[in-house]
Structure 1
């Protein structure tokens, strides 16, 4: 890959400094140490920075979610991820740079306004000097950013050192993080942590889906770089799906349609990785419903999600406690993951199991559902991956094959929708400087379905099946609602930007000379309002267009009588 089009690497240290912890808060909300107290149970023993704001409810959630369930029996070191709702009414304390981070990020990497991610490094070892007989402690990074692979890599550097040397080590790590460059998409970042440097590139929304920027090829090798991450967020998707290998088509459909889905796994690591793999399998579409990579009976939403008085909500969550096998028998789709064999063997072909078979606690691994997929199974991908296992193909290659399969499947499905929605834009000639921007045409399911005969997924996918039925189901799902809401917002902003350009191309001074002072003042106020909107909503408009519009405003004001000029100039600076 050539250097052309790639941004220059960020410096290790940026000389322009903001407030203390400002850089830190662009990446993390806080770092927690969760220990086990014989009388109190799990407790937050330390918090960095010390003034980090967490409500009691949030601390309780972090405490319960930071320890593997007692049934998991995780000895040694365990890493996993969880996600929990932030308390209502909390004001965002994140660095303003995240606005740009969010604006330039792919939709599936944007920060979550309602939830925090917790990245956990848990250690449990025998210790006869402790009354309980075990040392049990978790180091937890709390962040709004879904950079799973990156934060787990950071924890691997910090946690072992911390468990050996305690608090001074955390203070040093926080100091390192507070020197990091902002998490801006597209930049190559060299991030020092605990004596090493991690090199990453955060994807941008302009990246071609399915391409991974391999950093080693874009830059000469740097001696001080210790770890180069090809991806900041992706989990090992082939390993996650290998226990339910023959059902990947069915699982893709369930996730696409926002169906309620539970993953029952032996450990929080397998639980969280499998949930994250499921959520990611419909990329570049964003999964718009709730998902919990690790969920416990202590969760504040436990009753909400396990009640039998209503249909299960659209959510994917991962659990390890056998209690859920009984509690969630009424859920329509359940995946049971056994212990993954280190040899990476693909299981023999198994049918989807009936839900009634889940009643026993020792149920076999597999998919329990009565769902009938709309599309026929793609046997080609199954054979290709099976052959890879037999030939001991590297896991990275297996991962890439499976990820490309899901990407092509999602793109085949979404391209007809993209094409139809693009046609809802009004014609360019309908945009006039002297009228409000025209409205988008409404989405018509009937009209969309008519387009599928000629421009449907059959153009790009070899898969046969009931595509029409799949689309009808999808149009009722939260994922369609979220996708279309974002598309409609983008298109409305495009119309606003085109309207601004139309205004810029008018000779407004001639218009003002033909109209009254009251109308001229009204025009100035409207133009100023448009400029504020363009900046606030980051409309897709060129900088010189905004400059030209501001020049129009200034020129019109200079043409007005002095008293009006004074008033408008005051509003200009207020």
Structure 2
């Protein structure tokens, strides 16, 4: 083995040794301020991790609050940036994760999540007079609560003790169990154990406990992987939550302007949760800067802005994004419910600093005045924020479900009749989606039937028509259509497993028999690769059929078609 080959082999062993770490976190970055370079990447942990030049540039600029925002002390916020390395850095443990976790926690490997802890304090011993440094946890997981708490735990330790602290953190994370939905997880870190739980998909059959333990010890911290106090974040714009629900449902371009990345990042994340349990499928950047590699793409005036929600702090965006149709400008005090007013005009030429929602969007639906009044009374009576948030979440959940249930029912009607399924033919395809046929169902099965008591009325057909052109609908429809296709394939496999193939084989030409063997083998592989839900008894019968058919063939064909 040459020196080069030996070094490559040692590097591969080093990378393999960190697989358990990368199951959770890609790397931890330290970004500092350099007088000559500006924001600069000081170090990366573990040391072997590589980042592209573009990723390093984006991380460095996103790791610091904008210079005009003047964040003193410690600031925590969340970023989301493109993964420029494609699938070359995807941990194997992530392969089955998305099929088992809750929709809102699915991994999208095209993006990293960054959990930033930034410190800026006066320090007369430094040339610039300030200590400015950020610790950034980079991960594929959207665990906004867990990783924000962890970054707030390890960053101060690092500022006090230096590199040795983050090296110890990395070795601790290597001991963590694989992230599996539906199981309680204990994550040891610097003498403390973070206790957490990843909610499983509603379709995932799990008999595990469904919540965190009720009590914790002295060195234990209980934390949810994902947790937003929706009311607390949306309080400045709560009177217009139905307007915002529509804009998010329709994947409209929205820019959130705030004085701090903590404010804009939490608002952007809250907006994407308004339509839960439907997954928001537009792009979104909780914090975005003018130095981002996609700045030109988002600020060009040649095309309509893409379906994206941007969080920004630099006042310069007031000029570069004035052509965007919807702007939310937040006040410096996020705790004030009455400060944001609705400005029924497009943001063009409205560059004042007064907080408000600037939009010319004409809502399709009326607002539910009852829930708004209830939440406002809760503010006056000092109702706990957690209770306010629970009320708001339940209302939005019911609104989204009422909007989607007619679509779910109609899509179910696209399933072909059972008699169209034959064991000796390919599985039939679902019927095509027909908007007019769907609209015809609304009178007897529309959202208004479940929302009569809320006072929400309006142009449902108009809202659906625009929704059909959005990324949210396209992603939902593709997923559901795939589910229907898999269900039909499962039914066809069940029919095939129950068929009398011994009788079918008699008198058949070899070419037809071989075709059946290949079809069965392909079906079995398809079940495994696409996680098609068929019972073990069906799989056993199919394998039994396969053996019976192969045995009936001449020796030469039998060897060629040998079941692996």
**Distance apart, 1:252 and its partner CA:** 0.6
Corresponding position of 2:222: 228
**Distance apart, 1:100 and its partner CA:** 1.7
Corresponding position of 1:9: none
Is the 8 Å Cα contact of residues 325 and 358 (structure 1) preserved in structure 2?
Answer: no
Corresponding position of 1:155: 151
Per-residue Cα deviation, 1:388-439 (whole angstroms, up to 9, x for no partner): 1112111111111111111111111111111101111111221111111111
Matches within 5 A, 1:366-445: 366-445=356-435
CA shift in 2, pair 1:547/1:157, >3 Å: farther
**Distance apart, 1:183 and its partner CA:** 1.4
Is the 8 Å Cα contact of residues 87 and 109 (structure 2) preserved in structure 1?
Answer: no
Corresponding position of 2:58: 61
SS at 1:27's partner residue?
Answer: coil
Corresponding position of 1:187: 183
SS at 1:352's partner residue?
Answer: strand
Per-residue Cα deviation, 1:361-405 (whole angstroms, up to 9, x for no partner): x52111011111111111111111111111211111111111111
Is residue 2:348 matched to residue 1:354? no
Query: 335, 338, 350: which one pairs with 2:331?
Result: 338
**Distance apart, 1:274 and its partner CA:** 0.3
Is the 8 Å Cα contact of residues 113 and 138 (structure 2) preserved in structure 1?
Answer: yes
CA shift in 2, pair 1:64/1:220, >3 Å: closer
Corresponding position of 1:111: 107
Corresponding position of 2:10: none
TM-score, normalization: structure 1?
0.91
Which stretches in structure 1 are left out of the alignment for 5+ residues?
Answer: 1-17
Is residue 2:77 matched to residue 1:80? yes
Output the CA distance in 2 between the equivalents of 1:31 and 1:404: 36
SS at 1:125's partner residue?
Answer: strand
**Distance apart, 1:109 and its partner CA:** 1.8
Is the 8 Å Cα contact of residues 157 and 194 (structure 1) preserved in structure 2?
Answer: no
Output the CA distance in 1 between the equivalents of 2:142 and 2:435: 33
Is the 8 Å Cα contact of residues 23 and 178 (structure 1) preserved in structure 2?
Answer: yes
Per-residue Cα deviation, 1:63-95 (whole angstroms, up to 9, x for no partner): 1111110011111111111111222x6224222
Query: 312, 318, 323: which one pairs with 1:325?
Result: 318
Query: 33, 36, 39: which one pairs with 1:39?
Result: 36
Output the CA distance in 1 between the equivalents of 2:187 and 2:77: 22
**Distance apart, 1:260 and its partner CA:** 0.8
* Greater CA drift, 48-57 or 116-125: 48-57
Is residue 2:165 matched to residue 1:172? no
Output the CA distance in 2 between the equivalents of 1:379 and 1:103: 38
SS at 2:382's partner residue?
Answer: coil
Is the 8 Å Cα contact of residues 352 and 368 (structure 1) preserved in structure 2?
Answer: yes
**Distance apart, 1:280 and its partner CA:** 0.9
* Greater CA drift, 537-546 or 482-491: 537-546
Corresponding position of 1:270: 263
CA shift in 2, pair 1:516/1:259, >3 Å: same
Is the 8 Å Cα contact of residues 254 and 324 (structure 2) preserved in structure 1?
Answer: yes
The count of corresponding residues between Structure 1 and Structure 2 is 543
Is the 8 Å Cα contact of residues 157 and 193 (structure 1) preserved in structure 2?
Answer: no
Output the CA distance in 2 between the equivalents of 1:296 and 1:348: 25
Output the CA distance in 2 between the equivalents of 1:355 and 1:186: 45
Is the 8 Å Cα contact of residues 81 and 269 (structure 1) preserved in structure 2?
Answer: yes
Per-residue Cα deviation, 1:420-461 (whole angstroms, up to 9, x for no partner): 011111112211111111111110010000100010001211
RMSD of aligned residue pairs (Cα, Å): 1.9
Query: 536, 555, 560: which one pairs with 1:562?
Result: 555
CA shift in 2, pair 1:516/1:396, >3 Å: same
Is the 8 Å Cα contact of residues 322 and 348 (structure 2) preserved in structure 1?
Answer: no
Per-residue Cα deviation, 1:194-251 (whole angstroms, up to 9, x for no partner): 211122111122179xxxx9735xx46453662222x322322112111112111100
Output the CA distance in 2 between the equivalents of 1:187 and 1:356: 47
Matches within 5 A, 1:101-140: 101-140=97-136
Which stretches in structure 2 are left out of the alignment for 5+ residues?
Answer: 1-14
SS at 1:282's partner residue?
Answer: coil
Output the CA distance in 2 between the equivalents of 1:444 and 1:525: 35
TM-score, normalization: structure 2?
0.92
